[in-house]
Structure 1
């Protein structure tokens, strides 16, 4: 037998002395690497967020102008850089060498520049000192816009050509790093409600795959509470089924469901025995994903816990990882009853500099009310005594309507008052601006007025007394305030399909995003139904109906009452007197309609419907944000798959409660009715006097004839 001895008694691999040499070389290289390049830890990548100012495009007139803009910084941001992008335009006649603009943050001036030599809009990028930054910030623009001159002197005569326009593209851009969320409800809430978290769609509300009516109610209460504090007009938090959770890094998820409906990995975080007589709100962080579990065994406790989550004050105050909620827990939001009195400012508001100076104050009414005649504004103020009192005055505007003016006098400089009644019929809306304009003219007009004198102060006792009444219009101009009473949900009954799909959840998110934006309290009632409720419920509730004829029986029963009706076989929406609808087009449109309730003629009803759930969803996209709903003044909206949307009005009498409208009409015209009544009485007395005179004269004439005979 042949044996190949070449492989016998041979060492496998590399010889030991070679191995030792390689080890020594590697050790030397490793030591050289350590000493030549110190070890560094790479910092976390910077995040960026651009915060648009809510101001619309604004023109400021006068030689010396001033405007305020406001923005906020999240507490969990470690800000590395802040840039103010100022979009503006100045008068074409402005002298670029004499005009200047100064920027202040929280009362501290930090940057001045001269306008660029351009005629249109231009943008100035300004780095903001971080040491001036706080949580809530006031950015002030002061400008001195002087006319073109042939010499080096100031042209101090104010003309219409002295103006500065601030564009709506102005914003602040943050560069920051995220601070890690602490294991507390307050820290989770801060991140979950943060502007950047919501804008980047990292905040989500999760409920059961097949939610019960109580679970649907709880999730919408939570959504409404969040919508109430969202400051941007384009962002919302989606409500999703558990199967669509799709959690990613840095996502913040509010999971609200009964214990039996929770995903299994979240059930493990809760001891079921602790839920016997209470609900639990608990944080759970894993793999850079952040959960807040809100759960209970009963629907009533789950809704109670949802009201706790919807209470901003309670969530910010809870510095622990878990909170128990039972039937005795106070969860209602606080409310302030002002009896129609709205103070313009809480601290003395100073106005500095000569010329035309303005300051403004936002007044908000309860969203379910509108102003009535008889409102008035009282301004308490004082001002410097070095004015040209022949030319100095104060003017009050409501929005852009002049209410009245008063001449300033040296005698009342230390304490002056201006009280004005608002013009009859002036519409204020749910919020309006009180604008106070001071014309502080100096005696000496030969020098620049870029100084802190003269000055004026608006006193905190200044107030607006608003007489208001509940809105009574069954139109989209009054939506969703018809579903709000005393700033909370007004007995809302929501009738939905029994089996909700993804589009249905998106539709509900849209509907309750806007309702929550208007509701300032969590004390009202919302109740969901997945079948037609009793007639008693329909009679005494403000009803929202969502769905298609195939998945919601109530849509079929309401079809005769709809403005845009379905065909006999319910497979398309048909033409009416307002819109001709081609048969295939009628299969791919959605509608939102405000109809008078067939169960109670003093209540309205919102119906959001389409042939399929996608059509229903596209209809809801026009009732999700205030900027969208403001486009419509009628009682019906039609939206197609190309996002073309149209508004129509069908009802002639827009009043929800017709008897209330008649009473208000009588009240508004009471003086006229009194005058007409007096006039009728006078006319009747005159007629009676004439009749009596004629009869008396006839008798006298008859008596004379008898005497002659």
Structure 2
């Protein structure tokens, strides 16, 4: 066989030294490519073998399609319409359904409810208010209930003159577990007319679940036994959802590390407060002026009063470790004391309490948090942020998705993204699925929705029933939008549907647990109160937040900042960045952060530095605000308002400054009260809000360029495009070497010809 090298030798005839160099270069050019090809081929073979092995393992795990058995309608009992009677308990917790309509012959829905570790649960039952189609045949229709996939009750379905019906389901306590529980409702609804079955009209056989339906848990609260693992109980509980009576206190010195840790815990605890947040931030001296209360006390050990030091189980040593001690105060009320000889370690102790996996390990009343113990988690989070946008169904749900029954079936995949998430370009979905072979393949298909926006569809085929795939990139019209879920819908049409099919004959589809979703977050930032928690929170964690407080902050100022962080930390996770500086310590070199500040002109000197940047500037005496071209203020009104304003930071590009300003402590208190109400937070719009003494608001827009473009970092680009980048580098290098070798060969031929001509 004639090789390329033989051809080159024949053309050159007498290659000599130069041609030998050319050949060496040629070999050097070909060798890496060959090696690369061999590696790629070997990797492909290995991947294929691994994939086949994984498929074998996966098929063993997932061959069983989740099919909740339905009762024979003829033998199903009538619903129990009497509310269960139990012994009285101290507390109940209701979990309400969203309004839901189940359509088709076989359809189901789930409600998830949570049982806390500190509950001594006495009973659980469900109240279901429902409506059914007037066309269903009661002799052939039933509904089945299950707890954690275990069937517990079935009832006959029948139409009752257009009236809503109520039934009760007693849930066995031996099937209820701590943590999340799923309550499933599966309807088997058939349609008949005088000639027989008309189930092809799939929208006509429906069961509607009203949003007045709920699951009720009756419980007594357990003794916390001073166990840190129970945190945030008893300081926060389901029977005190506002946090009323809880104080988070710092020392009277209000050291920076103390305030940073207190603000982190404030944001974390506020996730459970619901409609109103009554948690108070204060100094130790303020505790004495209040009635006995539950207290979380955060203090540098040197700033801790002797009365608290004497109560501690163990004092911190000189290593800088932090101590978390759950004890009782002098009024025998719960006291969680966090202290250290190193001010910077207090935030690490707060992160430990926020990190459930670490907190659950602390089953006693004393925990030692080693200095630097959180750094590993912080660094791991930074590294994983670049790849954390890759999910599988197993990551999200722990299993695949089952679809059972003819006609339209849909299920939701609730995405593990934070509220500040916005989809960037490059999002991708790879679904691997299989389905039954008794379908009408001309009419059966799969559709995927981003929220409620359809993104891609594919028709099912008999040839690929045992292993099909839908692979697509997110369409351009959903880039820059957010969604809480992906909806996957199958239309499973069957030819010649008989009137009474056995359940085993029902069509089915299964989306494998290894199906993948890639959701890169957009880095665009819009400065507006109605844009969610951005830019102060990113990926669920505080995003380089610097709090600038007055040199002698008041309880009102601390609480106002605490409520602000509660608003921006609605999904607060541990290991976010929160720093605190006194106004007198701040200089412009410290400004590469997203800054939040609060106070009056006289109490917070930082406000004097940024006064010229404000839309509503302080008057010269600081007792009121000046008018501007959008709002003329009367003299009296100008002294009774508080102002919240978002600004592009004057200290750093693509950073934000949030100013919460008032002319007095009363106006700041009014801002604080406003932010305690979660429903009022939703009214905040645009980039500037004026709040008067009656908590009436005026929203204004002063930022002309709303978008602050913040492109992806180099590391993000490498992660997103690493395959393309590797291929480009290799291909470019190979082409360059080949070109270089060809040029040398051509030059050698030309020199050789000139010598022959001479």
When residues 410 and 486 of structure 1 are mapped into structure 2, their CA distance, relative to the original with a 3 A threshold, is closer
CA-to-partner distance for each residue in 1:394-450, whole Å, 9 max, x for gaps? 211110011122222222121111112221031465553111111223334342569
* 2:459 aligned residue: 407
Which of the residues 671, 688, 708 maps onto 1:656? 708
When residues 175 and 152 of structure 1 are mapped into structure 2, their CA distance, relative to the original with a 3 A threshold, is farther
How far did residue 161 of structure 1 move?
A: 5.0
* 2:644 aligned residue: 592
* 2:360 aligned residue: 316
1:54-73 equivalence runs, <5 A: 57-59=99-101, 61-62=103-104, 64-73=106-115
Instruction: Kindly report the root-mean-square deviation, in angstroms, between the aligned alpha carbons of the 2 structures.
Output: 3.8
* 1:371 aligned residue: 423
* 2:150 aligned residue: 108
* Residues 408 and 490 in structure 2, CA contact (< 8 A), matched pair in contact too: yes
1:177-576 equivalence runs, <5 A: 177-189=220-232, 191-192=234-235, 194-196=237-239, 198-199=241-242, 201=244, 204-227=247-270, 230=272, 237-242=279-284, 243-244=286-287, 253-262=295-304, 264-270=306-312, 274-277=316-319, 278-285=321-328, 289-330=333-374, 333=377, 335=381, 336-337=384-385, 338-345=387-394, 346-365=398-417, 370-427=422-479, 429=481, 431-447=483-499, 451=503, 453-484=506-537, 488-531=541-584, 533-538=586-591, 540-576=592-628
- Aligned equivalents of 1:618, 1:450: Cα separation in 2: 65
How far did residue 162 of structure 1 move?
A: 5.0
For the residue of structure 2 that corresponds to 1:513, the secondary structure is helix
When residues 47 and 262 of structure 1 are mapped into structure 2, their CA distance, relative to the original with a 3 A threshold, is farther
CA-to-partner distance for each residue in 1:170-209, whole Å, 9 max, x for gaps? 4332211122213432134554465445456465433234
How far did residue 165 of structure 1 move?
A: 4.9
- Aligned equivalents of 2:611, 2:669: Cα separation in 1: 19
- Aligned equivalents of 1:261, 1:231: Cα separation in 2: 30
Which of the residues 123, 126, 129 maps onto 1:84? 126
- Aligned equivalents of 1:232, 1:566: Cα separation in 2: 35
* 1:74 aligned residue: 116
* Residues 384 and 456 in structure 1, CA contact (< 8 A), matched pair in contact too: yes
When residues 384 and 492 of structure 1 are mapped into structure 2, their CA distance, relative to the original with a 3 A threshold, is same
* Residues 354 and 451 in structure 1, CA contact (< 8 A), matched pair in contact too: no
- Aligned equivalents of 1:590, 1:413: Cα separation in 2: 64
* 2:38 aligned residue: none
CA-to-partner distance for each residue in 1:278-324, whole Å, 9 max, x for gaps? 33211214776322211123422333333333332221112232222
* Residues 281 and 294 in structure 1, CA contact (< 8 A), matched pair in contact too: yes
For the residue of structure 2 that corresponds to 1:402, the secondary structure is strand
- Aligned equivalents of 1:231, 1:657: Cα separation in 2: 34
When residues 145 and 234 of structure 1 are mapped into structure 2, their CA distance, relative to the original with a 3 A threshold, is farther
When residues 204 and 111 of structure 1 are mapped into structure 2, their CA distance, relative to the original with a 3 A threshold, is farther
* Residues 213 and 530 in structure 1, CA contact (< 8 A), matched pair in contact too: no
How far did residue 155 of structure 1 move?
A: 3.7
How far did residue 537 of structure 1 move?
A: 1.2
* Residues 548 and 583 in structure 2, CA contact (< 8 A), matched pair in contact too: yes
Larger of the two Rg values belongs to structure: 1
- Aligned equivalents of 2:667, 2:501: Cα separation in 1: 61
How far did residue 597 of structure 1 move?
A: 1.8
When residues 63 and 288 of structure 1 are mapped into structure 2, their CA distance, relative to the original with a 3 A threshold, is farther
When residues 463 and 246 of structure 1 are mapped into structure 2, their CA distance, relative to the original with a 3 A threshold, is farther
* 1:24 aligned residue: none
How far did residue 246 of structure 1 move?
A: 8.5
* Residues 384 and 454 in structure 1, CA contact (< 8 A), matched pair in contact too: yes
Which of the residues 171, 176, 186 maps onto 2:219? 176
TM-score normalised according to structure 1 size:
0.76
* Residues 64 and 450 in structure 1, CA contact (< 8 A), matched pair in contact too: no
Correspondence 1:156 to 2:199? yes
CA-to-partner distance for each residue in 1:566-617, whole Å, 9 max, x for gaps? 4444333454444454444443333321112223343211111223334334
How far did residue 52 of structure 1 move?
A: 3.7
How far did residue 128 of structure 1 move?
A: 2.4
When residues 496 and 404 of structure 1 are mapped into structure 2, their CA distance, relative to the original with a 3 A threshold, is same
Which of 400-409 and 138-147 deviates more? 138-147
How far did residue 80 of structure 1 move?
A: 0.9
- Aligned equivalents of 1:198, 1:625: Cα separation in 2: 13
When residues 399 and 84 of structure 1 are mapped into structure 2, their CA distance, relative to the original with a 3 A threshold, is same
CA-to-partner distance for each residue in 1:145-169, whole Å, 9 max, x for gaps? 667x765955413355555554544
Which of 237-246 and 502-511 deviates more? 237-246
Which of the residues 606, 611, 615 maps onto 2:663? 611
CA-to-partner distance for each residue in 1:82-115, whole Å, 9 max, x for gaps? 2324455556777778765443221123344547
When residues 214 and 44 of structure 1 are mapped into structure 2, their CA distance, relative to the original with a 3 A threshold, is farther
- Aligned equivalents of 2:638, 2:95: Cα separation in 1: 39
* Residues 206 and 245 in structure 1, CA contact (< 8 A), matched pair in contact too: no
How far did residue 378 of structure 1 move?
A: 1.3
* Residues 566 and 573 in structure 1, CA contact (< 8 A), matched pair in contact too: yes
For the residue of structure 2 that corresponds to 1:599, the secondary structure is coil
* Residues 366 and 430 in structure 1, CA contact (< 8 A), matched pair in contact too: no
For the residue of structure 2 that corresponds to 1:411, the secondary structure is helix
- Aligned equivalents of 2:670, 2:102: Cα separation in 1: 40
* Residues 226 and 516 in structure 1, CA contact (< 8 A), matched pair in contact too: no
How far did residue 393 of structure 1 move?
A: 1.9
CA-to-partner distance for each residue in 1:650-674, whole Å, 9 max, x for gaps? 212012358999xxxxxxxxxxxxx
When residues 368 and 354 of structure 1 are mapped into structure 2, their CA distance, relative to the original with a 3 A threshold, is closer
- Aligned equivalents of 2:351, 2:101: Cα separation in 1: 43
* 2:732 aligned residue: none
CA-to-partner distance for each residue in 1:668-707, whole Å, 9 max, x for gaps? xxxxxxxxxxxxxxxxxxxxxxxxxxxxxxxxxxxxxxxx
* 1:14 aligned residue: none
- Aligned equivalents of 2:167, 2:640: Cα separation in 1: 47
Q: Which runs of 5+ in 2 are unaligned?
A: 1-85, 714-758
How far did residue 503 of structure 1 move?
A: 2.8
- Aligned equivalents of 1:342, 1:527: Cα separation in 2: 35
- Aligned equivalents of 2:710, 2:490: Cα separation in 1: 45
When residues 522 and 332 of structure 1 are mapped into structure 2, their CA distance, relative to the original with a 3 A threshold, is farther
How far did residue 350 of structure 1 move?
A: 2.0
- Aligned equivalents of 1:448, 1:623: Cα separation in 2: 58
* 1:634 aligned residue: 686
Which of 308-317 and 618-627 deviates more? 618-627
When residues 152 and 45 of structure 1 are mapped into structure 2, their CA distance, relative to the original with a 3 A threshold, is same
When residues 467 and 184 of structure 1 are mapped into structure 2, their CA distance, relative to the original with a 3 A threshold, is closer
When residues 626 and 358 of structure 1 are mapped into structure 2, their CA distance, relative to the original with a 3 A threshold, is farther
